[in-house]
């Protein structure tokens, strides 16, 4: 298993944890989706894999990459993990590049300083990577500054940088949401091709449920820092077992279905909201008495689990 997270809980001073007892895994060659509303904890999970945690955070549980315990790593091992084993692709590529440095400097500097390659070897590798991600005229791109490239081209540069050390795991945090639809499709196709060619594991964070259904092999649905449902993508979106998953699908537009959109009532809980029972209970249209006081345990369903009291009473929400 490339990534294994077990019982991950992160507290940082609020009345409820940022993450509570999160468990997920990503196998080699697998694309795993992580979906949920803003503030649900998706990006925190990705940062926990790199141990980029909030100051003063209290952490329990296990995060393993290729069997190595990330939370217990020494400084040297942690630097090796970040430099060579796990790569993160962020939402806005411009935030990853220095606007006064050339693209070539961005690509080669890390290989020289952290991977120990010579400047010549790093340059050759950078040109190979730019060509591999579909950049035309890589020699020219190496000499250009970020402001001279489009958003799609910059995202390709960032993907090339992520592949520089041949990582085993990619963390894609809303990696295409800042791009237009056409460029997004090209970037997603590129990511999938690279992922399959290198048999990488990928944790794909997105708020786009239709994209997750089409792109991912399995999907975890996160709400208030808790995994409420995890199943193969096709099964989860065809037959959601948790009311929150069903609610997300009901308010997602579909060009092939003219049904009216039904938004989920209320708001997601903040870190100052104390939650004794099911975190979704205040917004759930099918709430029962147990939801207010008893946190539901994950129940086995077709292909995965769902944490809902209703799952024990009927087969589908």
Q: What is the pLDDT of residue 314?
A: 46
On the question of pLDDT at 189 being above 90, the answer is no
Here the tokens at position 173 are 């945090």
Across the range 49-76, mean pLDDT stands at: 93
Q: What is the pLDDT of residue 93?
A: 83
Residue 190 main-chain phi, psi, to 5 deg: -65, -50
Across the range 226-254, mean pLDDT stands at: 91
Q: What is the pLDDT of residue 174?
A: 86
Q: Are 34 and 204 in contact (CB under 8 A)?
A: yes
| Extended strands (E) in 57-102 | 58-65, 68-69, 86-89
On the question of pLDDT at 44 being above 90, the answer is yes
Of the given ranges (32-41, 118-127, 273-282), which has the lowest mean pLDDT? 273-282
Of the given ranges (32-36, 85-89, 130-134), which has the lowest mean pLDDT? 130-134
Angle CA 129–67–114, to nearest 5: 40
For the segment 92-123, what is each residue's pLDDT rounded down to a tens digit?
888 889 999 999 999 999 899 888 899 999 99
Categorize the per-residue pLDDT at 54 as very low, low, confident or very high, splitting at 50, 70 and 90. confident
Nearest CA to 26 out of 6, 10, 7, 51 is that of 6
Burial annotation 207-216 (CB, 10 A radius, 16+ → b, else e): bbbebbbebb
Q: What is the pLDDT of residue 86?
A: 95
Q: What is the pLDDT of residue 317?
A: 43
Q: How far apart, in whole angstroms, are the C-alpha atoms of residue 209 and residue 291?
A: 26
On the question of pLDDT at 255 being above 80, the answer is no
For the segment 163-186, what is each residue's pLDDT rounded down to a tens digit?
888 899 999 998 877 677 887 888
On the question of pLDDT at 68 being above 60, the answer is yes
On the question of pLDDT at 260 being above 60, the answer is yes
Q: Which domains does the chain have, with CATH numbers?
A: 3-100+145-312 (3.40.50.300)
Q: What is the pLDDT of residue 253?
A: 77
- Mapping DSSP onto H, E and C, the string for 119-186 reads HHHHHHHHHHHHHHCCCCCHHHHHHCCHHHCCHHHHHHHHHHHHCCCCCCEEEEECCCCCCCHHHHHH
Q: What is the pLDDT of residue 313?
A: 47
Categorize the per-residue pLDDT at 276 as very low, low, confident or very high, splitting at 50, 70 and 90. confident
pTM of the predicted protein model:
0.90
Average of per-residue pLDDT values in the chain = 90
Q: What is the pLDDT of residue 121?
A: 94
Across the range 152-166, mean pLDDT stands at: 89
Q: What is the pLDDT of residue 92?
A: 81
Across the range 23-33, mean pLDDT stands at: 96
Q: How far apart, in whole angstroms, are the C-alpha atoms of residue 220 and residue 23?
A: 10
């Amino acid at each position: 298993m490339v990534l294994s997270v077990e019982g991950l809980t992160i507290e940082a001073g609020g009345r409820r944890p940022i993450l509570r007892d999160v468990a997920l895994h990503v196998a080699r060659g697998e694309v795993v989706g992580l979906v949920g509303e803003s503030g649900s904890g998706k990006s925190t999970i990705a940062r926990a894999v790199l141990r980029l945690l909030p100051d003063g955070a209290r952490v329990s549980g296990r995060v393993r990459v290729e069997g190595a315990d990330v939370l217990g790593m020494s400084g040297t091992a942690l630097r090796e993990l970040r430099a060579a084993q796990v790569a993160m692709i962020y939402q806005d590529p411009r935030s990853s590049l220095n606007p006064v440095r050339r693209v070539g400097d961005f690509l080669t500097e890390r290989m020289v300083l952290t991977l120990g390659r010579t400047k010549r070897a790093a340059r050759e590798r950078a040109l190979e990577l730019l060509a591999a991600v579909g950049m035309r005229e890589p020699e020219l791109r190496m000499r250009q500054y970020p402001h001279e490239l489009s958003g799609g081209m910059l995202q390709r540069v960032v993907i090339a940088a992520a592949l520089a050390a041949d990582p085993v795991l990619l963390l894609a945090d809303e990696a295409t949401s800042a791009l237009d639809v056409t460029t997004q499709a090209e970037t997603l196709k590129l990511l999938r091709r690279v992922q399959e060619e290198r048999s990488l594991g990928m944790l794909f964070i997105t708020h786009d449920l239709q994209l997750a259904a089409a792109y991912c092999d399995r999907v975890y649905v996160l709400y208030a820092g808790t995994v409420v449902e995890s199943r193969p993508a096709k099964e989860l979106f065809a037959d959601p077992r948790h009311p929150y998953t069903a609610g997300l699908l009901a308010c997602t537009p579909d060009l092939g279905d003219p049904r009216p959109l039904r938004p989920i009532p209320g708001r997601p809980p903040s870190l100052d909201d104390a939650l004794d029972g099911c975190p979704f209970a205040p917004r759930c249209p099918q709430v029962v008495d147990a939801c207010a006081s008893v946190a539901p345990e994950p129940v086995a369903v077709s292909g995965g689990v769902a944490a809902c009291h209703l799952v024990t009473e009927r087969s589908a929400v």
